[in-house]
Amino acid sequence: MGRPLRVWVAAGAAIAAALSSCARPGPTPEEAERISGELSRLLPELRVGVSGSKAVVEGEIHSFEAYARVHPVLYDSQYADRILNRVFVTEKAWQRVAERITAEIRPFAPRIRARAVNRQIWLEGEAASDEDARRAQKVANLMLPEAIPPDPVAAHDPRGEVLKVPPRATVQNFVVIRPKSR
């Protein structure tokens, strides 16, 4: 906690205003150790350690359901600026989402399939109509997990100095329209 900021009024009387959030220093190594211990108890499936004055949380999450349980802890306001989040969802979990999307789309668009590519879902194949392609896109968007981890590069590059590409949608539609021949 920083020292309170004193504001002097014209009459010379001091009014101590606790504006500690303005002058708040970063977390101390001791605070990082305390937070690391708390996170270790809350997230036993992940590795938690300390680097400098931040708690480091890292590991693989094998399903989006498990990530949904971990997400509120990682982004809780008491931890968010005091941890380095190195948690990611495995490619296998993304593949399972793509398989579920493909199964859901198959009844109305059997030539479209979803595949997981670099933290995205790509819709590929052929649709008999523009309407089927749009419907496949909508189904895929609706079937995405609610909690998706941020891009690891973008998450640690808030000013966008490293990642120069604009943000991309999680579902990319590469479906080709080929009307049925009569």
**DSSP 8-state code for residue 5:** E
Q: Look over the chain and give the mean of its residue pLDDT values, rounded to a whole number.
A: 83
Distance CA 72, CA 69 (A): 7
For the chain, the structural domain boundaries read 23-89, 91-149+167-177
Pick the CATH number of 91-149+167-177 from 3.30.1330.60, 3.30.1340.30, 3.90.76.10, 3.40.50.300: 3.30.1340.30
- For the ranges 70-74, 133-137, 154-158, 175-179, which has the lowest average pLDDT? 154-158
pTM for this predicted structure: 0.74
pLDDT tops 60 at residue 22 = no
Confidence of residue 158 (pLDDT cuts 50, 70, 90): low
- Give the span between the Cα atoms of 133 and 109, in whole angstroms: 8
Asked if 70 contacts 43 with a C-beta cutoff of 8 angstroms, the reply is yes
**Per-residue pLDDT tens over the stretch 167-179:** 788 999 999 999 8
Q: Between the ranges 12-16, 30-34, 109-113, where is the mean pLDDT highest?
A: 109-113
Report whether 114 contacts 101 (CB < 8 A). Answer: yes
Q: What is the pLDDT of residue 11?
A: 36
Q: At what angle do helices 91-105 and 64-74 cross, to 10 degrees?
A: 120
The burial of 89, by beta-carbon neighbours within 10 Å (0-12 exposed, 13-18 middle, 19 or more buried), is given as buried
- Tell me the two tokens of residue 30: 């001791």
Interaxial angle between packed helices 130-143 and 91-105, expressed in degrees from 0 to 180 and rounded to the nearest 10: 140
pLDDT over threshold 80, residue 7: no
The Cα–Cα gap between 159 and 165 comes to 13
